[in-house]
Amino acid sequence: MTEASGGRRGALPSGVSHFRELGVRLREHDYLADEGLSTAIFLSLKLGRPLFLEGEAGVGKTEVAKVLSRILETPLIRLQCYEGIDVYQAVYEWDYARQLLHIRAAEAFGGEDRERVERDLYDREFLVSRPLLQALEHRGPMPPVLLIDEVDRSDDEFEAFLLEILSDFAVTIPELGTVMAERPPVAILTSNRTREVHDALKRRCLYHYIEHPSFEREVEIVRLRVPDAEERLARQVAAATEKMRTMDLYKPPGVAETLDWTEALVALGARELDEQLVEATLGSVLKYREDQQRAANAGLAALVSGLGRDA
């Protein structure tokens, strides 16, 4: 492991030199990652490469960035993408109102030469930094975690721009010069696949597709994230959502829904799942009317009965 590339660029938490150790750290911070995901995060940190995460909604893509920022004790900088997002919303914007005021003030007090006014006008103090610039300007013992959420919602032009930033970790502001990251931020990109993100962008990144967790893992996640839920309830909920995922629904429940559901049940004081409770709380796990109907047709009782996996 003397590869030069691994040294300076990497941003592994201290004391972590193997993906299993990273898995343990993630777990200490309430995030359960399987071997594939731990390896992906480990390599991304070690090699200093952006990590591109895809998967169904609610499998915990965004959560990865949040937990990493806690583990690395470094700020999380989030850029939520949307259609039409451009450089001014993602990188920087001049504060025009203040600039105009500055000109007027200079005029009012007189005497100052035009050139100087103009130079001052494009001073750093008039620059408003947006998430990407914030990530590049960050200085500290650890690089920040940069979450570029739902890249698939942005458009081609913005993607091309991201590609540039993720290659050089630098951005040029014509009036000021180039801002370069001291160390490349830990970049996490997520996509829900509403469209195919360009290959060139993906090539810059390591890629991992997050699947729904296995039954045992999901029970563990529920226990970890909703500590008030009793073991029995957690197993019943996980078994029921697992069944729902095989029901050919428009939106099969993700881990996020499992957690929402468990929280709803715990709020109602449930210690065990029964048909009435499922009916009362179905809206927290299935969010399409058609899906709720499908589950009802299959029989809500079936979701709770025969939970052979009871502890």
Partner 1 sequence: MPEGEIEPPPMLDAAVAFGRVLRGGGLRVGTDRLVEFARAIEQMDPSRRDDVYWSGRITLTSRPEDIEVYDRAFELFWETGGAAKPKPRPKVRLSVPQPDRSVMPPKKTVEKSETGQEAVRLRYSPVEVLRHKDFALYSPEEFAELQRLLADLRLSGALRKSRRLEPAPRGRHDPRRTLRGAMRTGGEAVRHRFRKARVQPRRVVLLCDVSGSMAPYSRALLRFLHASVVSGGRLEAFSIGTRLTRITRELTTRDPDRALRQTAGAVRDIAGGTRLGDAIKDFVDRWGQRGMARGAVVVIFSDGWDRGDVSVLAEQMQRLSRLAYRVVWVNPLKAAPGYKPLAAGMAAALPHVDVFLSGHNFESLEELARAVAAATERGV
Kindly write out the interface string for residues 252-291 of this chain, putting x where it contacts partner 1 by CB under 8 A and - elsewhere.
----------------------------------------
Half-sphere exposure of 224 (CA within 13 A, CB side): 15
Asked whether 68 and 23 are in contact (CB, 8 A), the reply is: no
Q: Does 118 bind partner 1 (CB under 8 A)?
A: yes
Asked whether 155 and 169 are in contact (CB, 8 A), the reply is: no
Which CA distances in Å does 269 have to 3, 90, 122, 264, 304?
Answer: 55, 44, 59, 9, 17
Q: Quick count: other Cβ atoms within 10 Å of Cβ 281?
A: 21
Kindly write out the interface string for residues 46-75 of this chain, putting x where it contacts partner 1 by CB under 8 A and - elsewhere.
xx-x--x-x---------------------
Q: Does 36 bind partner 1 (CB under 8 A)?
A: yes
User: Buried b vs exposed e over 183-217: b needs ≥16 C-beta within 10 Å?
Assistant: bbbbbbbbbbeeeebeeebbebbbebebebbeeee
Interface region with partner 1, contact rule CB under 8 A, candidates 77-85, 127-135, 170-178, 295-303: 77-85
Interface region with partner 1, contact rule CB under 8 A, candidates 97-105, 224-232, 234-242, 262-270: 97-105
Would you say 107 or 310 has its CB closer to partner 1? Answer: 107
Binding site for partner 1 (CB under 8 A): 1, 3, 5-6, 19, 35-36, 39-40, 42-43, 46-47, 49, 52, 54, 82-86, 88, 94, 96-97, 99-100, 103-104, 106-107, 114, 117-118, 121, 152-153, 155, 192-196, 199, 202-203, 206-209, 250-251
